[in-house]
Structure 1
Amino acid sequence: MKSLLSILVLLISYLGFGQQIKYDEWKSEAKNNIRLLPKYGNVKKTEAQIVADNKLIADYVAQTGTRHKGSELLIKLGFDYLYKGDIKTAMYRFNQAWLLDPKNENVFWGFGAVYFTFKDFKNALTQYEEGLVLNSHSSNLITDKASVYMSKYQITNTLNDLNTAIDLFKKSLIIDSKNQNTLFKLSASYYLKKDCGNALKYYNQCLKLGGKPITTEYTNALNQLCKK
């Protein structure tokens, strides 16, 4: 069961991405590079940096029409880089997205994802919580918050962590019942509890919507567990 759990964690989170920098290196570099810190570390910027920021804002507003749309574009770019394992560039884009729209909760979805990639669950949760203050009904934030608890379960083997994840996934589904990512992870959570009924229920719901996050490895593991 432990090896299967390890496989599942790789399937359900950012933790399996190839990283181009180790966390110790990241933290060391962040001492002199504010772009690696959420919201640029809230450091007072130089006049030259402010001029550069204003130019960036103007460029993206001209390109997209509004600061919010520019922020959303940068968040998408950030996740694209994160999926490629380029965590530094991802953080640069998320910070630029915050610069354009500090009230965009999805910025904190990105910040949290960076820390989640490094398995820094404490800081990941801090970022997700800050985003949820801005929008308590963000399915993406709630699902990734749940994913943190699901990943913590691999380390703690504490059922409370897994139950917290399930509760959060269900809360997210109430907001967005067609979120395939949430459905898949909820199925995986019940798989870990060896609850075939619910694992298959959410697996099939995800499958009907396209089954994009479902992998062959998970399908085989679920069929093995739930075979009659």
Structure 2
Amino acid sequence: MIKIANILVTLTMLLFVVGCMSSGGTRIDNIPMYGQPEVHRPEVLQQADADFIAKASAGFGSREEASKVWWSQGERFMNSGNFDYAMRRYNQSWLLNPENYQPYWGFARVLMEQNKIDEAISHLETAEALVDDEYQKVALLADLGTAYTYKAKTEPSYFEKANQKFEESIQLDGSYAESRRRWAYSLFEQKDYSRAWENVEKANALGSKPFSPAFLSALEAAAPKRP
């Protein structure tokens, strides 16, 4: 663990200069894919990228493995609420392996927190096209269903897409409670209260995180639960 931590610190410092470059007042490493292809990558940063990739690949055996390590670091920051640092690690993960679905998923998670729904959907769809892990795909589809639900608040046609992704997630793994939980909230937004209740019950049976009291009260007011 100490060796891995030392490699991460050393290699991350190689790209410190990236943070000094900005786009509209925003650190370029806080923008997915460093703003590429729209933002030109200066030669000095291209060289820093190449050095980083070479050393990270050597440190972890391959670009693919190094990409996974940097993504996991992004997840650690994401889960602690440090979205800027999470985005920087996701960017490094992407730089190491643009064919890895994980950094695109990470980009989308940060963008959802920033209420940039359209951009988040774009990256989630890219992640879905690239994902090669059926286990992780279950949660990825639930996230995509959630993003489509947010989009449907302004474009209702996206509810159909949301339902499709939640259904696909459940078909892959019916024991993943979060898919049922997210779908219940989505179905409430669709005013499909009977199916919302159905998914509340199934999520609870699977040991889901508790639903918010406000949500359950609103659902009860809209359609009282049958005894």
2:201 counterpart residue number: 204
Q: Which amino acid aligns with 1:89?
A: Y
Check conservation: 2:141, 2:165, Cα contact below 8 A: yes
User: Unaligned regions of 5+ residues in structure 1, if any?
Assistant: 1-25
> 8 Å contact 1:109–1:140 — kept in the other structure?
no
Larger Rg: 2
Count of aligned positions: 195
- Give 1:88's aligned residue: 84
Q: Is the 8 A contact 1:97 1:107 kept in 2?
A: yes
Aligned to 1:221: 218
Deviation per residue, 1:133-153 (Å, 9 max, x gap): 213863333322222221123
Instruction: Note the alpha carbon deviations across 1:89-130, whole angstroms, 9 max, x for none.
Output: 011111122234332212211111222222222221221222
Taking the TM superposition and a 5 Å limit, the aligned residue runs for 1:119-138 are 119-135=115-131, 138=137
Please give the TM-score of this superposition, normalised by the length of structure 2. Answer: 0.71
- Which amino acid is the alignment partner of residue 71 of structure 2? I
What's the secondary structure of 1:139's corresponding residue? helix
Inter-partner Cα distance in structure 2 for 1:123 and 1:170? 23
Gaps of 5+ in 2: 1-21
User: Where do 1:32-71 residues align within 5 Å?
Assistant: 33-40=27-34, 41=36, 43=41, 45-59=45-59, 61=60, 67-71=63-67
Q: C-alpha distance in 1, partners of 2:87/2:62?
A: 21
What SS does the aligned partner of 2:122 have?
A: helix
Supply the distance in 2 between the matched residues of 1:53 and 1:67 (Cα, whole angstroms): 7
Residue of structure 2 aligned with 1:112, choices 108, 113, 121: 108
Deviating above 4 A after TM superposition, structure 1's stretches of 4 or more consecutive aligned residues are 65-70
> RMSD of the TM alignment (CA)?
2.8
Q: The residue matched to 1:159 in structure 2 has which SS? A: coil
Which deviates more, 192-201 or 180-189? 192-201
Q: Is the 8 A contact 1:98 1:107 kept in 2?
A: yes
When normalised by structure 1's length, the TM-score is: 0.71
Q: Which residue of 1 aligns with 2:163?
A: 166
- Whether the 8 Å CA contact 1:149–1:162 is kept in 2: the answer is yes
Which residue of 2 is the match for residue 15 of structure 1? Answer: none
